[in-house]
Amino acid sequence: MSRTDERYNVKETEAKWQKTWEDRQSFLATEDPSRPKYFVLEMFPYPSGRIHMGHVRNYALGDVVARYKRARGFNVLHPMGWDAFGLPAENAAIERGVHPAKWTRENIAAMREQLKSMGLSYDWSRELATCEPEYYRHEQKMFLDFLKAGLVYRKESWVNWDPVENTVLANEQVIDGRGWRSGALVEKRLLSQWFLKITAFADDLLDSLQTLDRWPERVRIMQENWIGRSEGARLTWNLKDRDDSLDIFTTRPDTLFGAAFLAISPNHPLAGELAAHNPALAEFIAECNRMGTSEAVVEAAEKKGMDTGLKAFHPFVPGWELPVYVANFVLMEYGSGAIFGCPAHDQRDLDFARKYGLTVKPVVLPADADAASFQVGDEAYSGDGTLFNSDFLDGLDVPAAKAAAIARIEAGKIGEKTVNWRLRDWGVSRQRYWGCPIPIIHCDTCGPVPVPEADLPVRLPEDVSFDKPGNPLDHHPTWKNVACPCCGKPARRETDTFDTFFESSWYFARYCSPNRADVAFDRSAADYWMSVDQYIGGIEHAVLHLLYSRFFTRALKTCGYLGVKEPFAGLLTQGMVCHETYKDEAGAWLYPDEVVKGEGGGLVHAQTGKTVALGRSEKMSKSKRNVVDPAHIIATYGADTARLFMLSDSPPERDLEWTEAGIDGAWRYVNRLWRLTALAVDSLPAIGTAMPELGEAAAKLRRQVHKTIAAVSDDLDRFHFNKAVARIRELTNALGDFKAEDAGDWWVMREGLESAALLIAPMMPHLAEEIWLELGHAQPVVDTAWPLAEAALLVEDSVTIAVQVNGKLRATIALPKDCDAKLAEETALAQEAVIAAMSGKPPRKVVVVANRIVNVVV
Ligand code: ANZ
Ligand code: ZN
């Protein structure tokens, strides 16, 4: 068979190289202080059972970075693991009777094989699964250390209760008033919970965002908003006919003369007290609580209130009484759970005032408005301006008026300047089985007692049943019954487990020494590897996971575990993988492989032939069936093709449109590059052959080769993977079009093919290895350095000039056109042939004729 007919055998080739890398332990990482380190990490997956295209994209991106940095001489750590606790495992147990541990471990095994088939350069010896006691024992210890350090406390608090999942949800797990997984309307309940004091680091979490200059601006802004620092004032209002007062928080003390009412949260203690004698108010409060009082719910809901009948005295104007309402939009968890409302300058207050017939008195005059006629209609005015209708504040601008009002408040000792944070402490208790047990024992005499360190880990019992609703740990017959570590009397274990964000808040550091049983991290290993140099994952984790990890790293530093406070120095948030959607005539979603092109060119159902409606492209999701299974793609076209397509079509942070044509194009490229090599290889000069004289076309091609090397390196440094791929494809086309005739041509062909193999290796590592081997190299690409571009070849106008030693031609060199004499002289004297001709003597004279010749006299 001639080589032209040979085909690239993807399956065999990819399996062969995966085995080679494994046998050679190519990706095993060890600390080596003599080399610069590079820790690249992709967000670890939840072991749902199968990888999806989002995973493929995420891990392909990470692998390019890892392999590229490796080739550039970095000591790379690139690990993988499993975020293995969580609800789906329990749901599987409830629905299918399979134990969460078994379900999870089987899923991990299946997904590990899938990941291995992608040829990812992971150090598998560092694999971890968070559901194993070898992992979670360390976080139990961390929790106890945080407790000692004052970073943990227990508090009765209102929680979001998901009536379907039977569990507490974090605020951020409530989306538009519904549970993030169940979609059920969330209710309020009062429970005793463990909290981590993330607010203790609020200032630093905010300020340090400035230092994260390799994070996307957008993510930093999201974090900033989530932390939500507000400068304002706390102010006390005296209540009429009561020996009592009300504290409010405001960011606009300048608008105090425009106040129309006070409002307290339905969960404010005063509201509760009044409701005890006021059934209508009690009913109103109950209604608010049914609706939920989280920010998201409140934002969406109609603003409602009820007059309590109480009056409050304005702090600056003797005798001015304002009504006090209970209002559904005032959150108990923010500020002091009470506000003053200024309808003219706050939209919510305005809507409220219109509804309940309260006065709307503007006190800030916009620059172009007239004081006599300015009015507020349906829209509150929240901009800048000059104060009016405001006594001692009249004539001041907003910032000055804020300062003046605060000065007066502080002078009168009725309040002070304060800073308020939107950030709340992190409630970590979950009434769930498949999570890390909270290492606490409850004793009727001693209260909550930490489990002694010697008794860690508190293992999750595996003999549990899921036939009753609620927490299996709670109804396990024996597990929770233990003696109190303090007094020895019968006591009960805490049956709550940690929020699963707990595990993902420190896993990155565990990778530094994942097999140490005695400690969470080997300190010197952590000092060597941390922080993660490049973290890659979905934008959906832009707030919580990243914020919790930043907090955890600080808490671990406080407790002496780690030396750094920022876990992730660089962050890349990748876009989604999208696909067209299809519906049949009945409106049911169809899978892409159920749809074909009909005779008329329109889309039809593959079996029934009936018309199919094409919908817009959306994120691949099971619910819309617009998914393509990566396993199928890899089995058909190989991992390299899938990886190449993932990288080539759009920049990583943007959404990617999955198309049949795109994957086809990638597949054809794989074959083209392979065939190009196979056809050329017999004509190529041996490895290491000195460069012969080059004709014009060869010199030109060579310049393209080196320009490609430089540009691709630059692209990869900036994560412009799609551009890098496009450039390598251009080079491949140029090599394919090149008609090699003489020795110089073939020499450049070799250089071009070798460069293409090395440059494409981070994206298509298997094909690169195969080509490299075909080109005669004994040492695989994984152990070969990144190619370097010759500077002189990067300039568009380069000239080839002669170098003579004592009048005899010894070499030709490529130089930028019109370059300075010094570069010409240095380059000439560095040529091996020139050095040889000089036989160790120093040059007596060097004459450079620009763009023509370098004459060396010895
Ligand atoms: C009077 C006022 C006048 C306000 C005005 C705003 C505009 P941020 O920026 O988010 O901190 N507020 C205070 N506590 C609240 C609570 N527990 N629930 C709901 N709203 C609350 O917002 C601070 C502003 O939100 C405060 O300033 C207060 O209304 C309201 F023209 O006070 B302001
Ligand atoms: Zn006790």
CA distance 360 to 358: 7
**pLDDT above 80 for 751:** yes
DSSP-derived letter for residue 100 is H
CA distance 205 to 219: 13
What's the pLDDT score for residue 142? 98
Ligand lying closest to the C-alpha of residue 255: 1
The protein residue with its alpha carbon nearest to ligand 1, atom 28, reads 250
Query: Which pair of structure tokens corresponds to residue 667?
Result: 């597949």
- pLDDT per residue as tens digits for the range 518-527: 999 999 999 9
Domain 229-421: assigned CATH number: 3.90.740.10
CA distance 645 to 656: 10
Query: Which pair of structure tokens corresponds to residue 432?
Result: 């769930």
Other beta carbons within 10 Å of 354: 14
- pLDDT per residue as tens digits for the range 589-615: 888 888 888 888 888 898 888 888 888
CA distance 815 to 823: 8
How far from each other are the two terminal CA atoms of the chain, in whole angstroms? 57
Angle at alpha carbon of residue 236, lines to 230 and 238, rounded to 5°: 155
- pLDDT per residue as tens digits for the range 548-564: 999 999 999 999 999 99
Mean pLDDT of 393-406: 97
The protein residue with its alpha carbon nearest to ligand 1, atom 10, reads 230
Alpha carbon distances (Å) from 511 to 135, 190, 320, 425, 529: 11, 38, 64, 27, 9
The protein residue with its alpha carbon nearest to ligand 1, atom 33, reads 250
Shortest-distance atom of ligand 1 to CA 342: 3
Other beta carbons within 10 Å of 746: 18
- pLDDT per residue as tens digits for the range 448-485: 999 999 999 999 999 998 877 678 898 899 999 999 99
- pLDDT per residue as tens digits for the range 762-814: 999 999 999 999 999 999 999 999 999 998 888 767 788 899 999 999 998 98
**pLDDT above 70 for 565:** yes
Say if CB 186 and CB 309 are below 8 A apart. no
Residue of 246, 249, 352 with the most ligand 1 atoms within 8 Å of its CB, for mutation: 249
- pLDDT per residue as tens digits for the range 786-798: 999 998 888 767 7
Alpha carbon distances (Å) from 340 to 160, 236, 260, 394: 27, 11, 8, 20
What's the pLDDT score for residue 649? 86
* Residue 731 CB burial class (10 angstroms; 0-12, 13-18, ≥19): buried
Question: Confidence class of residue 143 from pLDDT cuts 50, 70 and 90?
Answer: very high
Question: Confidence class of residue 3 from pLDDT cuts 50, 70 and 90?
Answer: low
* Residue 194 CB burial class (10 angstroms; 0-12, 13-18, ≥19): buried
CA distance 271 to 336: 13
**pLDDT above 80 for 12:** yes
Compute, in angstroms, the gap from residue 441 CA to the centroid of ligand 2: 9
Say if CB 168 and CB 432 are below 8 A apart. no
Question: Amino acid letter at 691?
Answer: M
CA distance 254 to 408: 11
Contacting residues for 433 by C-beta, under 8 A, at least 6 apart: 90, 100, 460, 464, 466, 471, 472, 473, 497
Class of the CATH-defined domain 798-857: alpha beta
Contacting residues for 710 by C-beta, under 8 A, at least 6 apart: 789, 794
CA distance 180 to 174: 6
What's the pLDDT score for residue 167? 75
Say if CB 532 and CB 41 are below 8 A apart. yes
The set of protein residues with a Cβ atom below 6 angstroms from ligand 1 is 230, 249-252, 255, 329-331, 334-335, 337, 339-340, 342, 345-346, 420
What's the pLDDT score for residue 182? 83
What's the pLDDT score for residue 28? 98
**pLDDT above 90 for 648:** yes
- Considering the segment(s) 31-130+503-574 as one domain, its CATH architecture is 3-Layer(aba) Sandwich (3.40)
**pLDDT above 70 for 294:** no
* Residue 357 CB burial class (10 angstroms; 0-12, 13-18, ≥19): exposed
Q: Are strands 81-82 and 577-583 parallel, antiparallel or unpaired?
A: unpaired
Residue 332, φ and ψ in degrees, nearest 5: -70, -25
**pLDDT above 60 for 501:** yes
- pLDDT per residue as tens digits for the range 422-450: 999 999 998 889 999 999 999 999 999 99
Query: Which pair of structure tokens corresponds to residue 128?
Result: 């971890």
Nearest to 313 by CA among 305, 304, 321: 321
**pLDDT above 50 for 1:** no
Ligand lying closest to the C-alpha of residue 486: 2
* Helix/strand/coil percentages in the chain, nearest 5: 40, 20, 40
What's the pLDDT score for residue 4? 54
Which ranges constitute the DSSP H helices of 325-452?
A: 347-356, 398-411
Say if CB 368 and CB 375 are below 8 A apart. no
Ligand lying closest to the C-alpha of residue 398: 1
3-class DSSP state for residue 633? helix
| Domain 659-793 = CATH 1.10.730.10 | yes
Query: Which pair of structure tokens corresponds to residue 41?
Result: 């990490």
Residue where the block lists tokens 């290796």: 761
What's the pLDDT score for residue 389? 96
Domains of the chain: which residue ranges?
31-130+503-574, 146-197+426-498, 229-421, 582-619, 659-793, 798-857
Total-model pTM: 0.86
Say if CB 442 and CB 248 are below 8 A apart. no
- How distant is the alpha carbon of residue 431 from its chain centre? 27
Query: Which pair of structure tokens corresponds to residue 400?
Result: 């000055």
3-class DSSP state for residue 41? strand
* Strand arrangement, sheet containing 167-169: 167-169, 152-162, 187-196, 426-427
Contacting residues for 25 by C-beta, under 8 A, at least 6 apart: none
What's the pLDDT score for residue 469? 67
Mean pLDDT of the chain: 93
CA distance 93 to 107: 14
Residue 262, φ and ψ in degrees, nearest 5: -115, 150
Residue of 227, 234, 252, 349 with the most ligand 1 atoms within 8 Å of its CB, for mutation: 252
Shortest-distance atom of ligand 1 to CA 420: 11
Alpha carbon distances (Å) from 561 to 145, 487, 524, 549: 10, 31, 10, 14
Angle at alpha carbon of residue 279, lines to 273 and 281, rounded to 5°: 65
Say if CB 352 and CB 360 are below 8 A apart. no
Compute, in angstroms, the gap from residue 482 CA to the centroid of ligand 2: 11
DSSP-derived letter for residue 742 is S
The protein residue with its alpha carbon nearest to ligand 1, atom 20, reads 330
Query: Which pair of structure tokens corresponds to residue 646?
Result: 């993932």
Share of the chain above pLDDT 90, in %: 78
Shortest-distance atom of ligand 1 to CA 333: 17
CA distance 704 to 759: 13
Angle at alpha carbon of residue 48, lines to 45 and 54, rounded to 5°: 50
- pLDDT per residue as tens digits for the range 65-95: 999 999 999 999 999 999 999 988 988 888 8
Ligand lying closest to the C-alpha of residue 484: 2
- pLDDT per residue as tens digits for the range 157-203: 777 888 887 777 766 667 777 887 788 988 888 889 999 999 999 99
**From start to end of 338-396, where are the E strands?**
338-341, 364-365, 386-387
Contacting residues for 345 by C-beta, under 8 A, at least 6 apart: 252, 255, 258, 362, 363, 364, 380, 381, 382
Q: Which residues surround ligand 2, an ion (CB under 5 A)?
A: 443, 445-446, 484, 486-487
Compute, in angstroms, the gap from residue 327 CA to the centroid of ligand 1: 13
Compute, in angstroms, the gap from residue 150 CA to the centroid of ligand 2: 21
Compute, in angstroms, the gap from residue 146 CA to the centroid of ligand 2: 22
Compute, in angstroms, the gap from residue 374 CA to the centroid of ligand 1: 24
Query: Which pair of structure tokens corresponds to residue 334?
Result: 């923010």
Contacting residues for 391 by C-beta, under 8 A, at least 6 apart: 257, 316, 317
What's the pLDDT score for residue 703? 93
Nearest to 86 by CA among 46, 114, 59: 46
CA distance 94 to 468: 9
Residue where the block lists tokens 């000239």: 799
Question: Amino acid letter at 224?
Answer: E
Q: Which residues pair with 190 in a beta bridge?
A: 158
Compute, in angstroms, the gap from residue 185 CA to the centroid of ligand 1: 26
CA distance 523 to 398: 52
Alpha carbon distances (Å) from 712 to 665, 725, 771, 811: 20, 8, 19, 30
Residue 855, φ and ψ in degrees, nearest 5: -105, 120
User: Known binder of ligand: residue 622?
Assistant: yes
What's the pLDDT score for residue 170? 63
Compute, in angstroms, the gap from residue 132 CA to the centroid of ligand 2: 29
The protein residue with its alpha carbon nearest to ligand 1, atom 12, reads 339
Mean pLDDT of 827-835: 91
Nearest to 254 by CA among 423, 368, 381: 381
Question: Amino acid letter at 30?
Answer: T
